[in-house]
Homo-oligomer: A and B are copies of this chain.
């Protein structure tokens, strides 16, 4: 296998599995552990690339399924590929559409060959199997492509979870055989729900096939926090040390901090932007709902020593006013703050790992965040 992606492990924390590294691919690079804001349709809602860079963002997640629906991978390829199209020249990871098998499952028909999606807009049908998923991502030209997987919801019977693992493995193999684009990595995805033996089998077989990196899928699909943490704890050690580990769709700050302690390197989640649009700010002492009337006259920034643009320029009183009067700038500013918060959380973790103090960092963060 040619190595499309270089992963250099730079530091290993002494008291946990946490680690720092650097991913390089096609001239682009990324410090890990890293968090990706979500740009499903080739845009982080309301934010410009330069604003994301100011927040410290190094990579974004886009979605092959949604981009195939509109404007189409062919069109994007014709415009010079996804990076040029969306003006983002950092690393882009594309999810294949596997998650949509789950999230849109009431309108989809799943067979061993793939999934027939019904376009929610016009009812038209689109078929996506492992080959289609890879070809679409190759056309998009993302830096990291994901295999097409089946991601069942939780709770899920062992029989159903096992069948999803079988399909996911068969599809992973097909994706690997189809994939040929240079300077594009392909990651495998471990499924298996909450079943340790299924997760273990899935991980082992994927590692046997050999991917550029490995994702833990099927979390944040309805399970509680304990099951989620358990799935990460059981799966992470099954993945090779020398390859990046990506926890898909996770999550809230405590989940991320815990997963870093288990040796996870990459994260993505809609939380910072979606919560921001809905007037919720993340702070080190928990969430803050800016529409609450206690903030009406509050001259303080969202968070005292935050270096983001929203905190540097504006009071809680102003942000409260923006949301109360439905001004677009409110969602923009809270998205900027929340993305900065996530990036600061991750850069703090990297620093703590480098200083062999991740355990303390995690303890302090969780104490402040969860006890208010």
Contacts and interface: CB of A to CB of B under 8 A. Distances in A.
A244 interface: no
Contact of A328 (B45, B78, B317): B45
Contacts of A296: 71, 75
A42 interface: yes
A109 interface: no
B309 A45 contact: no
A41 interface: yes
B79 A318 contact: yes
Nearest to A70: B325
Contacts of A327: 41, 43, 45
Nearest to A329: B43
Given A75-B296, A321-B41, A87 B328 contact: no
A75 B322 CA distance: 14
A331 interface: yes
Interface in A218-251: none
Contacts of A309: 48, 50
Contact of A317 (B45, B49, B75, B331): B75
A46 interface: yes
A299 interface: yes
> Which 9 A-B pairs rank lowest in CB-CB distance, beginning with the nearest?
A46-B328, A87-B313, A43-B329, A71-B321, A43-B327, A41-B325, A45-B328, A70-B325, A79-B317
A90 to B, nearest CB: 14
A324 interface: yes
A354 interface: no
Contacts of A195: none
B297 A49 contact: no
A298 B333 CA distance: 31
Interface of A: 41-50, 70-71, 75, 78-80, 85-87, 296-297, 299, 309, 313-315, 317-318, 320-322, 324-325, 327-329, 331-333
B70 A314 contact: no
A313 B49 contact: yes
A48 B324 contact: no
A119 to B, nearest CB: 13
Contacts of A324: 70-71
A313 B46 CA distance: 15
A320 B42 CA distance: 12
Contacts of A41: 321, 325, 327
Given A43-B329, A85-B315, 7 more contacts: A45-B328, A46-B332, A48-B313, A79-B317, A79-B318, A86-B318, A87-B313
Nearest to A49: B313
Contact of A329 (B46, B70, B313): B46
Which of A299, A313, A328 gathers most chain B CB within 10 Å? A328
A328 B71 CA distance: 16
29 contacts: A41-B325, A42-B318, A42-B321, A43-B328, A43-B329, A45-B328, A46-B46, A46-B332, A48-B309, A48-B329, A48-B332, A48-B333, A49-B313, A70-B324, A70-B325, A71-B296, A71-B320, A75-B296, A78-B297, A78-B299, A79-B297, A79-B299, A79-B317, A85-B315, A85-B317, A85-B318, A86-B318, A87-B313, A328-B332
A332 B333 CA distance: 13
A69 to B, nearest CB: 9
A87 B48 contact: no
